[in-house]
Structure 1
């Protein structure tokens, strides 16, 4: 007699978002025994002493054991870990802070407006693509900073080898308002309707493609507004559809945790964890963090395709077929095959998310051109402009 495994739910919808189910998942207490390498559990979050973690990971078996513990914390546990003293050398941290401050001042002097994903533009000083800018302006500082072994430890644990680091500097100035609660890239940057278009197994996959981190570049007492987190919220499968809903936002507002940090501490968390930067209520603290977004090596196609050239070749056909009565579905399928349907990666200095969470994708431009009956030359110019905005 054969045994048939139960069939998983294929699609998620707003109807699956039940606050009682969510509460049952997040209202639990972290057992220190599940995180034996942690030095403490504070507000349900495992806190690791950076130096002790380094010693533990110095041998092959110890490293694998430490990484397994971190994966458990990020996947099935509270979804977040804190490394105290992740950057123990204050000179390395200080030189990086000076370099980041110089970038902020340079961009501020240039009048460069910076959009933010979940806060009003202008509320913070935001440096997009800080990784490349630091490397170009201060390569020695870059090397010393990113040689950090704990970044490599947790990134390899969560993503495996071949990961890719990007970073953004976020400086929240005194009076800077809190962000709205959210989940992060990938599905967290899509509208509810677009997120719902992806099957449930992609909702489960998305968090495994990215690791979120933040390095504190100054002391961050609670009044300075360090990030708010809701431990265990990453385990809620419909969370990419739930976080915008008023009842979930209200629950987050009443139940989040907020951990003070010291300069050189680092936080790493599952991108599906409900979180939001806090309100800087201090009088004089410019709360600077280097936000690390570390991506899986697998988030890319197998072949290199010049999709701009493909679109320019195919668009006259699309335009003619539409005039001849082709269905929207037919047109949509061809656009999906020829155009890049995802707006990332992009250059967020030139292509910021000011009007939403994500800029237009190449496919968005093509579909709009079809709707408005633009000429091939007009689309060609728009595609070229878009490609130039995405260049570093």
Structure 2
């Protein structure tokens, strides 16, 4: 037995050498292996594995969807089996051609989106985006709700598409929640840096490193990423860049920010051109990035779907405001005596909301680097450090809540 094996082993009560438990955390000081990543992402997608796909292009299965009513329950289940396999242990992404066949409906929805964009552009305040500087592109946060309020008829027709729950439940099971954001990328817009998505993809490196490896792997099962093409997206317009099979790299959330992984992505990504009404769906752990729009006149437009598992909710509803109100003065006294002790941190962690989502991203603008606004716990920590009174901290909490509402 070599030295490495001995170093990773221990002796049990019967004097037998057993493997040591795997550390629960990925090490922030021990970079993930780029060579392992290269091997994983050098696989090829076999058409034999996905017989219901009409083609495989650049490792991405392409499905031309028939009219939904023509499918039998068995055929629906067979499609879901393939989609689940793709997302879990296949290339991690697939295209659905003709997800929306009603072109006049899409044109009407685009008119609604344009009116929302124009209305919001006339207002004041900073507009945030996850990768472009403010104002470079057009973004509608919560296009789902805004669409309904602006034009209920087209909203109902658009979100009555039975393929949406079929695709979503293939990955998430029943009772999922759909949210959406529109992004219009103008000619000349720069590409996005490769990344993974919500949840852990929206954490800083330091924060990410505190989540156990099992939680990092499990994160991908909580959401499904999708996009509906609201314009034609030829390759020159920069459709989403994708790295097939990268969702299976366990250390991916630790790796995607590293320069060598970003360089490898740029050298090896693929992209699937889309037509108006097509859909693109992928595992949120897949390395991906919006592409550069090198076209002269294509306003690349997509309704970005983020579908969340029903399991991403607590068992009971907790209103933290009265809890903070009742305990703040005493907490301040404890902080003044002992500083930011582990006890203070523990209490803040138990009482305050540590996760800033869901929120209103129009009013609580995400910063490009962190992609997430301040959490309630962040606010309480800041309040202690700044010596805020009970009245001051409660006003800040109230404002955060108001700003988070739809």
Q: Could you say if the C-alpha distance between residues 155 and 26 of structure 1 is closer, same or farther in structure 2, counting changes exceeding 3 Å?
A: same
Q: Secondary structure of 1:33's match?
A: coil
Please identify, of 72-81 and 110-119, the stretch whose mean Cα deviation from structure 2 is larger: 110-119
Q: Distance in 1 between matches of 2:338 and 2:162?
A: 59
Aligned match of 1:354? 367
Aligned pair count?
A: 389
After superposition, what is the alpha-carbon deviation per residue over 1:245-265, rounded to whole angstroms, capped at 9, x for unaligned? 000000000000011110000
Question: In the alignment, is residue 384 of structure 1 matched against residue 395 of structure 2?
Answer: no
Does the 8 Å CA contact 1:13/1:238 hold for their aligned counterparts?
no
Q: Secondary structure of 1:51's match?
A: coil
1:109 to 106, 109, 122: 122
Aligned match of 2:256? 243
Question: In the alignment, is residue 191 of structure 1 matched against residue 201 of structure 2?
Answer: no
Aligned match of 2:386? 372
2:50 to 20, 35, 39: 35
- Give runs of aligned pairs for residues 301-312 of structure 1, distance below 5 A: 301-312=314-325
Q: Secondary structure of 1:73's match?
A: helix
After superposition, what is the alpha-carbon deviation per residue over 1:291-338, rounded to whole angstroms, capped at 9, x for unaligned? 000001111111111112212222212111122326621101000111
Aligned match of 1:142? 155
Q: CA deviation at 1:62?
A: 2.0
Q: CA deviation at 1:105?
A: 1.3
2:65 to 28, 38, 50: 50
TM, length-normalised to structure 2:
0.92
Q: Distance in 2 between matches of 1:305 and 1:383?
A: 14
Q: Secondary structure of 1:75's match?
A: helix
Q: CA deviation at 1:7?
A: 4.8
Q: Distance in 1 between matches of 2:54 and 2:83?
A: 13
After superposition, what is the alpha-carbon deviation per residue over 1:21-51, rounded to whole angstroms, capped at 9, x for unaligned? 1011100110111111100000000000011
Q: Distance in 1 between matches of 2:159 and 2:176?
A: 13
Runs of 4+ in 1 over 4 A off after TM superposition: 4-9
Q: Secondary structure of 1:290's match?
A: strand
Q: Distance in 2 between matches of 1:120 and 1:230?
A: 25
Quote the RMSD (CA, aligned, Å). Answer: 1.8
Q: CA deviation at 1:285?
A: 0.8
Aligned match of 2:11? none
Question: In the alignment, is residue 18 of structure 1 matched against residue 33 of structure 2?
Answer: yes
Q: Which has the larger radius of gyration?
A: 2
TM, length-normalised to structure 1:
0.96
Q: Secondary structure of 1:34's match?
A: coil
- Give runs of aligned pairs for residues 130-209 of structure 1, distance below 5 A: 130-209=143-222
After superposition, what is the alpha-carbon deviation per residue over 1:78-111, rounded to whole angstroms, capped at 9, x for unaligned? 0001001100111221111111111111111224
1:75 to 82, 88, 93: 88
Does the 8 Å CA contact 1:177/1:279 hold for their aligned counterparts?
yes
